[in-house]
Structures are given as structure tokens and as C-alpha cells.
Structure 1
Amino acid sequence: MEQATLTLRIAPELRFFLPPRHRNTTPLHTDHDGTSTLGHVVESLGIPRTEIGTLYADGHPVDASHHPDPTQVIDVTPVPRPQPLPPGFDPPRFLLDVHLGTLARRLRLLGLDTDYHNDRDDPTLVRQANDQHRVLLTRDRKLLCRKALRAGAHIHHDQPDHQLTDVLERFAPPLAPWTRCLECNGPLSSVDKGEVAHTLPAGTRATYDTFARCEACEHLYWPGAHHEHLTQIIRDAQATLAAPPTRQPSH
């Protein structure tokens, strides 16, 4: 079958995903076999479907299953912010891949249900995300392109502060600081000092009176040397959610 050419206008926020030769090309012209769906065409350019918002053909919204006509001009937009989630995924719970350990701890600090392991392969991550109705966060674009994945998001930045801001702006989750274990994600509950005093270093026992314990792994917490830094992370997160939504980060 003779191939036709499609004309696509890719939103600036999504051009990072394109091959380098196409990132500054607008509009973008790409071959089309006449049978592939629009969703397949866009994904074949390197844009994960989890990052694709509304698709437009000649200004009219269409589904990813739309079969485009070569005469149509296609607009590809990013997901809106905050992003609506599939039924069962709201409020969001997260699953993070091996490269996002610091982000996982910060999400837990904010009270967000966040599972993280450094030994899970891609098929296992997708199954767990789907089975537990979690949003899979990753920097691996190929992982987000897996057809079975129901909800996921690409983490654009290397720096944990920027990663956290990106997640908060995209999903606007309700926060409950100091309620989850940073180590295992279990719930925290207050514990009387007398009950744990025998397990504490002498300096800690003499200095602090307020303690919390993880109900799952029994890790103990108290307002130690890093408390002010952690408190500032919480303040910044709350300010991010209170601010007007911003555009998706570009590169």
C-alpha cells in the first residue's frame, strides 16, 4: 500500500520525547500507512501514551483509536494538570521504579501511599501497578509504552525537589504529612516514650519526648537533626498545591 504523509503539531511540552532530529520541527511530517490508529502513530514517534492528552484532527477532538486522514492536521497535547485518573485510582497511590528512591521517601513524608522496590523488573511493576491501582512513576519511557499499563507518568527531572514538584502539580494529591514510614510506607502512630525508652540512645532519650512508630516495621521516629529540613519540604509541597497549576515541564 502506498504510504501517505501525516502532519502533526506536537505541543512543546512533548517534544522532548521525539527523536532529536524532530524536536525543533513544527509541524512534523511523518509517514502513515493508512491503517494505523492515531494513538499508534504518536507512540511510534516516542511519546508514551501516558503523556498524551487530547488529540485533535482539524481542530476536533478525536480518540486514540481514530484513523487519521492524510488531509487532516493533527494536534497532540499533553495531559492536563491536574490530571484526571481512571476509576479506582483517585486519590492517587504511587509505585516508583528503581531510580526514584529519594522521591519515594519524600512522597511518604507527605503521607502519600508510595510503594518502592529496587529489585522489580518491568513486567512485575506493571502488574503491581494495575493490581493495586497505583500510578507508576518512572523515568523509563519504554516502560510507560507498555500497552497493559493503566496509569503512569514520566518523571522529567533528575533533581528530587523538581521531581516532587512535578508529581504534585500533575496529580494534586491530598497530603497527610508525618503519617507514613519513610522506610516501608507503613502507617505511623504515636508511641509513649516510656514504652520505647530502653531502645533509644542516651542522647535521644534525654533530648526528645515525642515519638512515632511504624505499625509495619516498627521503625521509630522523633524530631531529630533533619526535622527542620523535612518540615521545609512539607511547607514547599503545601505551597505548590496552593499555587495555580503550571504548564508541564519542558526540556
Structure 2
Amino acid sequence: MEKPEIWLSFAPELHLFVAAARRAGRSAVRTDGVSTLGHVVESLGVPLTEAGTLLVGGRQVPVSHVPADGEEVTVLAVRRPQPLPGPARFLLDVHLGTLARRLRLLGVDAAYESVDIGDAALATRSAAEQRVMLSRDRGLLHRRELWAGAYVYSHRPPEQLRDVLSRFAPPLAPWTRCTACNGTLREAAKESVHEQLQDGTERAYDAFAQCTDCRQVYWRGAHHASLNAIVEESVREFGSPGPAEVLP
């Protein structure tokens, strides 16, 4: 018995995941007659984290739909901002350290693994902590254990940040989170942190914040202008900040 043949077309945003022959428009695919449409889409290279609405003959169907012979399938990209089943909390793999620090700078909850703990452990943590897995590893995003996931499309940190903010629209609360460990910051009197300050810093600055987890101390030092530029651009483009800044 001849296997069913369906016709698929992918949204332009998904073309980087599929073979060149499937980027020009609709293309034929032979299925086994029992696999779900979600499985077919993934088998062609598109992680389901990146597939948005699935249309069959213009009608929306779930990923569990089993395509029949002759069906016309359109795979759209995820819509932005993308709704999540919970708070916008993230987990980043070992290759996205700069992105993690920039998200934390904006007050976004961004856990980060600084060593390669393996795809299975990352997926397990995503599920256990209900965090969106951010990665440029397509294989990792195919793992079923993930609570949610997203492919980071650029290798450049400024573009990566814009991608995540436009896709998930997390609330921004600049200067409230530790860029080193993701802990929360609180105001700190100079006297309480003076042992961690060099003499020049103690003389030049009066306003300090300290991480409640790793105890790192922050102040508006030499790098503040460049960091503040990132904050101002992000807030201007993606929304007003949330809670008041810890550093006055």
C-alpha cells in the first residue's frame, strides 16, 4: 500500500531549519500514515519550540494530528509575544553567558550553566524549575522533557537580547538582579560593605547594592555608562521598567 503524501510549506522564519529544497514553497513529503504532524515537522528539522500554528487546508490542527494523503500543511512561526504557561523565567546553556548577564541586568530571571552539564540535565532542570530553555543547540530543543524552549537565532549578544525580549516580553526591572549569580539585590550601606571595597572606590562612591545570595557588591562605577545604554535602549523598545532600581 502506497504511503500517504502530503504537501508542506514553512514560514520564512523557519527556513534555516529545513533543507534548501523545502524553502521555495510547498514540497511533497511521504509519511508512514501513523506519525503525528508534530513528529513529521520535527523530522524535517524544525524543533516544535519554533513551530507556531499548524494549518491543514487553512484550518488549525494540533501537533497530534495525523496527516492524511493529499493534505496541504502550512507551518507558521511562533507569534510574538509568545504566551507562556507561567512566569517568564529562563535557563541558558553554556554558550550564552553574555546574554544571561544582560537579561539579569534588566532584572529578568535568567539561570545559566557556566559548564556543559549535558542536554539531558539541562532539559531536566528546565522542567523541574519551569524555565524556558534558551539555546542555539537545535538538538537540545528537540528534547521532550523541556518545559518550554526557544532557539536563539543570532550569535551576537545585542541581537540575542532583542530576540528574547521581543519574543517573550518579560517584565523589566533594571538593576535589581545580580549579573553574576542571578540573585536579587538590596541597598547596602557603605559601612556594611567597606571590607569588600578598594580605597578608591570607597572614597569615590556612596551608593551601593549587594546580592542577597553571593554577596557581591555593586555601585555605579566606570562601566555604568555602557551598561546603562543597554538598559535604556531595552526599556525604550520593550516596555517600562518594573520595580524601582536598587541603586539610586
Both structures adopt the same fold (TM-score exceeding 0.5): yes
Q: Which moved more, 1:170-179 or 1:32-41?
A: 32-41
Aligned-partner Cα distance in 1 for 2:61–2:23: 25
What letter corresponds to residue 8 of structure 2 in structure 1? L
Equivalences for residues 81-160 of structure 1 within 5 A: 81-86=80-85, 89-90=86-87, 92-119=88-115, 120-160=117-157
Shift of 1:203: 1.2
What letter corresponds to residue 82 of structure 2 in structure 1? Q
Aligned to 2:26: 27
Aligned-partner Cα distance in 1 for 2:36–2:194: 64
Shift of 1:112: 0.8
Shift of 1:75: 0.6
- Local SS of the residue matching 1:131: helix
> Alpha-carbon deviations, 1:121-150, whole Å to 9, x = none?
111111111111110000001101011212
Aligned to 1:47: 46
- Local SS of the residue matching 1:98: coil
Equivalences for residues 1-251 of structure 1 within 5 A: 1-19=1-19, 21-86=20-85, 89-90=86-87, 92-119=88-115, 120-242=117-239
> Alpha-carbon deviations, 1:52-102, whole Å to 9, x = none?
11100000000111111222110100111000112xx22x11000010000
Aligned-partner Cα distance in 2 for 1:36–1:15: 22
Q: Is the 8 A contact 1:168 1:240 kept in 2?
A: no
Shift of 1:242: 4.0
TM-score normalised by length of structure 2: 0.93
Aligned-partner Cα distance in 2 for 1:56–1:3: 21
Q: Is the 8 A contact 1:111 1:177 kept in 2?
A: yes
What letter corresponds to residue 168 of structure 1 in structure 2? L
Q: Percent identity?
A: 49
> Alpha-carbon deviations, 1:161-182, whole Å to 9, x = none?
0000000000000011111111
Shift of 1:3: 2.1
Q: Is the 8 A contact 2:188 2:209 kept in 1?
A: yes
Q: Is the 8 A contact 2:127 2:147 kept in 1?
A: yes
Aligned-partner Cα distance in 2 for 1:217–1:171: 28
Q: Is the 8 A contact 2:89 2:110 kept in 1?
A: yes
Shift of 1:194: 1.8
Q: Is the 8 A contact 2:9 2:22 kept in 1?
A: no
- Local SS of the residue matching 1:83: coil
Aligned-partner Cα distance in 1 for 2:118–2:62: 31
How many residues of Structure 1 are paired with residues of Structure 2 in the alignment?
A: 239
Aligned-partner Cα distance in 1 for 2:199–2:146: 49
Q: CA RMSD in A?
A: 1.3
TM-score normalised by length of structure 1: 0.92
Inter-CA distance 185–242: structure 2 relative to 1 (3 Å threshold) = closer
- Compare relative contact order (CA 8 Å, sep 6+) and give the higher one, 1 or 2: 1
Aligned to 1:248: none
Aligned-partner Cα distance in 1 for 2:23–2:10: 10
Aligned-partner Cα distance in 2 for 1:160–1:25: 30
Q: Is the 8 A contact 2:172 2:239 kept in 1?
A: no
Q: Is the 8 A contact 1:93 1:114 kept in 2?
A: yes
